[in-house]
Amino acid sequence: MEFLNSLKKRSKHYSSPFDHWELNEPLTKEALEEICKTEIMDLTEANLNYDGTRAIDGGGGEFRKGISSGGKAIKFRCFIEKNNSKDFPHLANLIEELRSKDTYNYIGELIKKDLSNSYVRVEVICDRQGFWLKPHCDIEEKLISSLIFANPFNESENLGTDLYDEKLNKIKTVPYKDNYGYFFSSGPNTWHGMEKKEIKKERRCLQINYVTFKTSWKVKS
């Protein structure tokens, strides 16, 4: 129960610019290795530019149509679902921990939300040079948003997520440290993003959400 132990023993709450918790060592070494080894396409090989969103893997207009080499949308992130979970045994273990009543009840008490009818969504992300993310608030279907960093290439700690106040002044950057991250309850004025910064090789992350829509992983009752 590495994630829950981190929440209970190694997390720290901050109230500025909005309520959020920073997590220290929430993942096992093996889970971090799976994040780092996941094959994710390099967008520069497809002559595409980041547009300040994560919509390029199917959300943008021209990409919904797919590509000529196979008619499938370009992917630069990897969702862990039942059909591929056998390839990620340690991340699958994490998902089971996130689905457990002990874990989601503890998180729910912190953020003052009922997670008992939610679903878990987990995705591996690999950002490369040119990536940026405009300040935004997550959709209301995301009950919590969490990002855990994997930094095997000793990238700058400045590559963490930028947090903003309601006037979009940058207040802080959560440091991009290996096996470190944050979570917060999605809502209005939870502005976050990442300014354009130098990524020397890769910015690897694991995104964790509890959501209201169906995924492969409903929480356990």
Start and end residues for every CATH 2.60.120.620 domain found in the chain: 2-40+76-218
| pLDDT bracket for residue 42 (50, 70, 90) | confident
Q: Is the pLDDT reported for residue 83 higher than 50?
A: yes
Phi, psi torsion values for 103, nearest 5 degrees: -70, -55
Topology at the third CATH level for domain 2-40+76-218? Jelly Rolls (2.60.120)
| pLDDT bracket for residue 51 (50, 70, 90) | low
CA distance 118 to 141: 10
CA distance 121 to 100: 14
How many other CB atoms are there within 10 angstroms of residue 140's CB atom?
A: 10
pLDDT tens, residue by residue, 118-139? 999 999 999 988 888 999 999 8
pTM: 0.89
